Chain A
C-alpha cells in the first residue's frame, strides 16, 4: 500500500461530505459543533469555511429539534446530513428517528419518503463513561424503515455516504470513535451499501465483526494464524438489512462461528446473527457458536475497567480457540 494514497478515516468521511456538498446543492450538514469547531471529532474541519454557514450549520443543543428539522427538510426535497455528536445523544431524538423518520413512508400510504442521512459516533474505549460510550446500533438495526451502516474501513468511510444520500429512505451511519485516526486507502469513492465483506480468508473459523470490532477481529486472526488457525473475518458493514448470504457462505466453509459485538450480549445484534446461523446453517456447524460482547454492565469510566469490559483481541482469540477446540 502506497503511503501517499492513505488518508485517515476522519479525512475519508470529511472528503465524502465535501464531495456530497459539491455534487448536490440539496445536501447540507447540520449538528452540534460541526461548523466553527469542525465537529467534536474534527470530521467537518474546514467545511464551514469552504461551504458557508447555510450548508454547514451549527445548531443549538437540541437533538430532537435538529433531527426533526432534518426530517422536515428531507420531506421538502433537501438531502440533509444530520450529525448527532454521539449515539448516546441520539436517544433524545429517538421519537423523531423511530416514530417519524422510520414510519412516515408507511403512515403516509407511501406518499412521503424521508431521504435523510444521520451520522453519529458510537462505541467506547475513550474513557467517556457509561452515558457517552454506548453501542446502540444494534437497537437501530431492530427498526423497520431504516438502513443501518457501520463503516469499518477508510474505504467505507469514504464511499458509504453518497449511496446513503441517494437512498430514498432514512439511513443511519455509525462511526466508531476509535476509528477516526485509522489510516487506509480511500478507494475509488463509492461502495455498495447492501453487502457484508470478507476481510480475510481462512478455513478454520469465521470471525463476524463490524465497525470498531473489525480491526480487533483482524488482529485476532493474525494471532490465530501464528498458532496455525486460519480465520475468515466477515465485516458486516450493513447492520440492517443483514447480509445473511455472506455470513452463511463463510460459516458453510469453516463450520465454526465467533460473533464479535461491542453491544451487550442479551437481546443484542450478536443474538440476532447467532440465531440466523442456527436457522440457516445449523447442520454446517461443528461447534457451538461463540460470542464476544461487552460485559453486561454500564461502560466503566476507569481505563482499566473499561478495557476489561469491552471485546479485545485476547478475548476474541480465546473464543476462537474454544470454537476450534470443540
Chain B
C-alpha cells in the first residue's frame, strides 16, 4: 500500500467520470474548440505512441519509451506553454514534443538510430531528450538564469519523474533555482513506478511537499485531468514569469505501459492496480466531459480516430523507409571540427574494411 495519502490535496477540475468540478485556487474557461483540441492532442499522441511501440516489436525501432496513460499531464502542461517558453524534457515527453510541433517521425528517427538529434531546440523551445536521470533539471535552472539575465520574461519547464526525484541533481536544482529565484517550473510526472520500484520506495512524503523546504510553492495536480494540468501549469508559468521564482508541480498520474520496451511490468506490479488506473484514463475522461457538455459529437470522435489512423500509417511508412546511416557516421560528431585522432580512426576503419574486400575481389 502507498504510504502517500491519497486524500492529500489534489487539484482536479474533471472527475474520472468527466464531471467538471470547481477548485478554489485554479480555474479554466476555454473556447469550445480548445476543449476539443485537447482531446484530439491526447488521442493522436496515444496513437503515435502505440504505433511506435508496435514498430519496436517489429524490430524497426531499437527501443521505445511509452507515454501511455500520461497524455493529460503532458498535453495539459504542454498547451500551457507560450511560444517563447523553453522546455527541458526527460525521455518520455512525446506529448509535450507534440505540443511544441516536433514531428513524431523525428522522435522515432532518434529511437531508430538514424539520428541522435533531429530538431532545433532554439526554434522549437523544446530541448533534446535527456536520457540521464534528472540532469536536465540543473540544465533548466542554468538556462532560466541566463534568460533572466538577458531580460527575457519567459519561463522554463523541466520535466522529470518520481524516480529521478531521488537523484541528487534534482534536489540541487530545486535549491539552486530557489536561491537564484530562477523562472523554472519543475514538472514532476509521478507515474508511480521507476522501472520496478513503486513511488513509496522513492519518497516517504509526497514529492510536491519538498518545494516548501526549498522555499517555493509545490502543488499536486490530478495528472490524468488535462484541464487541471493546463490550469495549474499556466498559473505556475505566470508565477515564474512574474519573477516570483520556481514552482513545483507534481502530476499524479500512472505509467500504463512498461518503463520501456525492455521490461515486463507484469513481473513487478499487480494487475488490479493497472485496472484501477484504467478507470481514471485521461482520454476517456475528456471524452465523457465533451459528451456531457455537448462540446463534441460522434462525428468529431470519428474524425479524430481517422486522423489517428492516417498518422499511424504515415509514421509506419516513414520509419520503415528511413535510411541507415553509413558506418563512418560514428566518427562525425565526437568533436565539432576536424580532429586528428578521429581522422586517424576513420582512415584506419576504412583500411580495415578494405582488407575484407580483397578476398572477394
Kindly provide the distance from the CB of B134 to the nearest chain A CB, expressed in whole angstroms. Answer: 8
User: What 0/1 pattern do residues 183 to 220 of B give for CB contact below 8 A with A?
Assistant: 00000000000111100011100000000000000000
The reply to whether B330 and A61 contact each other, CB–CB distance below 8 Å, is no
Chain B residues near A32 (CB-CB < 8 A): 195, 197
User: What 0/1 pattern do residues 333 to 346 of B give for CB contact below 8 A with A?
Assistant: 01000000110010
Contacts A37-B267, A302-B325, A303-B62 given; does A295 touch B168 at CB 8 Å: no
Instruction: Kindly state whether residue B331 has any CB partner on chain A within 8 Å.
Output: yes
Instruction: Kindly state whether residue A64 has any CB partner on chain B within 8 Å.
Output: yes
From 53 to 70 in chain A, residues with beta carbon under 8 angstroms from any chain B beta carbon are 58-65
Q: Interface residues of A toward B: which range? A: 35 or more
The reply to whether B166 and A61 contact each other, CB–CB distance below 8 Å, is yes
The reply to whether B167 and A296 contact each other, CB–CB distance below 8 Å, is no
Instruction: Kindly state whether residue A129 has any CB partner on chain B within 8 Å.
Output: yes
Chain B residues near A309 (CB-CB < 8 A): 330
The reply to whether B195 and A266 contact each other, CB–CB distance below 8 Å, is no
**Selected interface stretch from B43-51, B67-75, B348-356:** B348-356
Q: Known pairs A60-B203, A295-B345, A302-B114; list 9 more (Cβ under 8 Å).
A: A37-B195, A58-B196, A61-B163, A62-B168, A266-B341, A295-B330, A297-B334, A305-B113, A314-B356
The reply to whether A297 and B168 contact each other, CB–CB distance below 8 Å, is no
Instruction: Kindly state whether residue A107 has any CB partner on chain B within 8 Å.
Output: no
Count residues of chain B with CB under 8 A from any CB of chain A: 38
The reply to whether A295 and B331 contact each other, CB–CB distance below 8 Å, is yes
From 22 to 71 in chain A, residues with beta carbon under 8 angstroms from any chain B beta carbon are 32-33, 36-38, 40, 58-65
The reply to whether A92 and B168 contact each other, CB–CB distance below 8 Å, is yes
Contacts A58-B197, A314-B356 given; does A92 touch B63 at CB 8 Å: no
Contacts A40-B195, A127-B62 given; does A305 touch B330 at CB 8 Å: yes
Docked pose: A132 CA to B63 CA in angstroms: 13
Q: Which of B113, B325, B329, B352 gathers most chain A CB within 10 Å? A: B113
Chain B residues near A246 (CB-CB < 8 A): none
Mind listing 8 A-B residue pairs with CB under 8 Å? A40-B195, A127-B63, A131-B132, A297-B334, A301-B62, A304-B324, A305-B327, A305-B330
Instruction: Kindly state whether residue A201 has any CB partner on chain B within 8 Å.
Output: no
Docked pose: A36 CA to B197 CA in angstroms: 8
Docked pose: A297 CA to B196 CA in angstroms: 32
User: What 0/1 pattern do residues 309 to 336 of B give for CB contact below 8 A with A?
Assistant: 0000000000000001101011100100
Contacts A131-B132, A300-B113, A314-B356 given; does A33 touch B167 at CB 8 Å: no
Instruction: Kindly state whether residue B116 has any CB partner on chain A within 8 Å.
Output: yes
Contacts A62-B166, A92-B168, A296-B334 given; does A33 touch B195 at CB 8 Å: yes
Chain B residues near A37 (CB-CB < 8 A): 195-197, 263, 267-268
Chain B residues near A129 (CB-CB < 8 A): 131
User: What 0/1 pattern do residues 286 to 300 of A give for CB contact below 8 A with B?
Assistant: 000000000111101
Q: Which of A58, A60, A61 gathers most chain B CB within 10 Å? A: A61
Chain A residues near B168 (CB-CB < 8 A): 62, 64-65, 92
Kindly provide the distance from the CB of B127 to the nearest chain A CB, expressed in whole angstroms. Answer: 16
Chain B residues near A63 (CB-CB < 8 A): 167
Instruction: Kindly state whether residue B133 has any CB partner on chain A within 8 Å.
Output: yes
Kindly provide the distance from the CB of A41 to the nearest chain B CB, expressed in whole angstroms. Answer: 11
Chain A minimum-CB-distance residue to B112: A302
The reply to whether A302 and B62 contact each other, CB–CB distance below 8 Å, is yes
The reply to whether B167 and A62 contact each other, CB–CB distance below 8 Å, is yes
The reply to whether B167 and A318 contact each other, CB–CB distance below 8 Å, is no
Instruction: Kindly state whether residue B236 has any CB partner on chain A within 8 Å.
Output: no
Instruction: Kindly state whether residue B164 has any CB partner on chain A within 8 Å.
Output: yes
The reply to whether A61 and B167 contact each other, CB–CB distance below 8 Å, is yes
User: What 0/1 pattern do residues 65 to 100 of A give for CB contact below 8 A with B?
Assistant: 100000000000000000000000000100000000
Kindly provide the distance from the CB of A17 to the nearest chain B CB, expressed in whole angstroms. Answer: 18
Instruction: Kindly state whether residue A245 has any CB partner on chain B within 8 Å.
Output: no
Q: Which of A59, A63, A92 gathers most chain B CB within 10 Å? A: A92
Chain B residues near A303 (CB-CB < 8 A): 62, 113
The reply to whether A33 and B196 contact each other, CB–CB distance below 8 Å, is yes
Docked pose: A60 CA to B109 CA in angstroms: 32
